[in-house]
Amino acid sequence: MSRFHPLKITDVRRETADSVSLAFALPKDLAKSFDFEPGQYVTVRATVDGEECRRSYSICSGKGEGEMRIAVKKVAGGRFSTFANDKLKPGATLEVMPPEGRFTADLGKARHLVFFAAGSGITPVLSIIRTALDSRPDTIVSLFYGNRTTASIMFREALEDLKDRYLGRLSVFHILSRESQDIDILNGRIDGARVALLARSMVPPAEVDGYFLCGPYSMVEDGKAALVAAGAKPAQIRTELFATDGAPRAAPKTAAAAHSTGAAKVDCQLDGITYHIEVQGDERIVDSAHAQGVELPYSCKGGMCCTCRCKVTEGKVEMDANYSLEPWELEAGFVLACQSRPVTPVVKLDFDAA
């Protein structure tokens, strides 16, 4: 199971007025642990104003570029994002967990890759694009990137440089919601209707090997549905959520969903060691573990990042939300500990299960 490692920041680059990218030094003994696939993320941890903060940030550098860099966009009221944008300097140290995530591409067969990204959803997309263009000379890439204004476009110069370096192989279309452009299709937001129009007119499924969508819930889910309706096969489409805006709220739990024998006893196997915790009926497992001094892996605590993925080997739990586990994982008994509450008096979880 992944653990945190202290990594020194070697470079802080201002990307927009409200975003920065951070590059880390990787000691030789950690090079293998931090060997990432394009599209993956890392979880970072820091103490900000006396409070521990964990956040997941996608790697934006290409696999062969010799560095690991993430981007952090400031969020209104965001404790860590404000700290990263306003306080972090080269030489500072953050605790970082090795790369995780499934938003990756099979670049061995791809010839035409199409990306839909919104805001900071560009970060994993940029990593895949950089790697694909560099490693496959016959691959072409189309990117539809949504932002509010030109000034808010993250990695604008980097994208222009990539277009110049890979002439004819990278097409970038900026879709702006608060700034008028001459071409009507590029005005507004990336939503299901716009994805459907683009799939019909510019990037039809018959000519595309893979679609990638990264951004808020409504864009990703509506866009995916539009692509399937246009003829794309589900296997052609990869998605990753950067926010749950627009997601349906979890249904209220019924009395039958909670155990009635007081605190549930939950055994958690992690790195071959079994930890014993007690969880009240209205508590989530990760929160209870943290309060009892048991360090279970987690990051977003919103059901999106999959860092807390584990397998139920005995008993039963109920999840409040799930935005990352695949259907086959649910059938195999995997759950997200940050969203799970015990239903039975005894539960056993295996965080080491593959």
227 and 158 co-located in one domain:
yes
Whether residues 158 and 271 fall in one domain: no
Question: Contact 56/41 with Cβ under 8 angstroms?
Answer: yes
Would you say 65 and 88 are in contact if contact means Cβ atoms under 8 Å apart?
no
pLDDT for 250 equals 56
Q: Are residues 275 and 228 in the same domain?
A: no
Q: How many Cβ atoms from other residues are within 10 Å of residue 89's Cβ?
A: 7
Residue whose C-alpha is closest to residue 144's, from 231, 87, 86, 227: 227
For residue 118, the cross-strand partners are 146
Q: Which amino acid is at 127?
A: S
In single-letter form, the type of residue at position 82 comes to T
As a whole number of angstroms, the distance between CA 216 and CA 338 comes to 20
Residues 146 and 195 reside in one and the same domain: yes
**Angstrom distance (rounded) from CA 133 to CA 169:** 8
Q: What are phi and psi of 28, to 5 degrees?
A: -55, -35
Residues 142 and 188 placed together within one structural domain of the fold: yes
- Tokens of residue 103, six digits: 């938003």
Measured in whole angstroms, the distance separating CA 121 from the mean position of its chain's CA atoms is 8
Q: Is 20 a domain residue?
A: yes
Do 260 and 220 belong to one domain? no
Identify whether residues 198 and 264 lie together within a single domain. no
Task: Specify the CATH number for the domain of residue 22.
Answer: 2.40.30.10
Position 336 in a domain: yes
Q: How confident is the model at residue 150, as a pLDDT?
A: 97
Does residue 105 form part of some domain? Answer: no
Contact 310, 325 (CB under 8 A): no
Q: Is the dihedral of CA 140, 145, 151, 155 positive or negative?
A: negative
Which burial class, exposed, middle or buried, applies to 76 when counting CB atoms under 10 A from its CB (0-12, 13-18, 19+)? exposed
Choose the final residue of a domain: 96, 122, 155: 96
Q: Do residues 134 and 221 share a domain?
A: yes
Classify residue 26: in a domain, yes or no. Answer: yes
Tens place of pLDDT per residue across the chain (354 aa): 468 999 999 999 999 999 999 999 999 999 999 999 999 999 999 999 999 999 999 999 999 899 999 999 999 999 999 999 999 999 999 999 999 999 998 887 779 999 999 999 999 999 999 999 999 899 999 999 999 999 999 999 999 999 999 999 999 999 999 999 999 999 999 999 999 999 999 999 999 999 999 999 999 999 999 999 999 999 999 999 988 766 665 554 543 444 555 799 999 999 999 999 999 978 999 999 999 999 999 999 999 999 999 999 999 999 999 999 999 999 999 999 999 999 999 999 999 998
The total of structural domains in the chain comes to 3
DSSP string, 93-124: EEEEPPPB------TTT-SEEEEEEEGGGHHH
Residue owning tokens 């209870």? 288
What's the rounded Cα separation, in Å, for the pair 144 and 227? 14
- Among 65, 96, 127, the domain boundary falls at 96
Residues 23 and 91 placed together within one structural domain of the fold: yes
Biggest CA pair distance of the chain: 66
- Do 17 and 119 have their domain in common? no
Q: Tell me, rounded to whole angstroms, the distance of Cα 170 from its chain centroid.
A: 23
| Residue 311 belongs to domain with CATH number | 3.10.20.30
Assess if residue 145 is contained within a domain. Answer: yes
Residue 38 and residue 135: Cα distance in Å, rounded?
12
Range of the domain at 201: 112-243
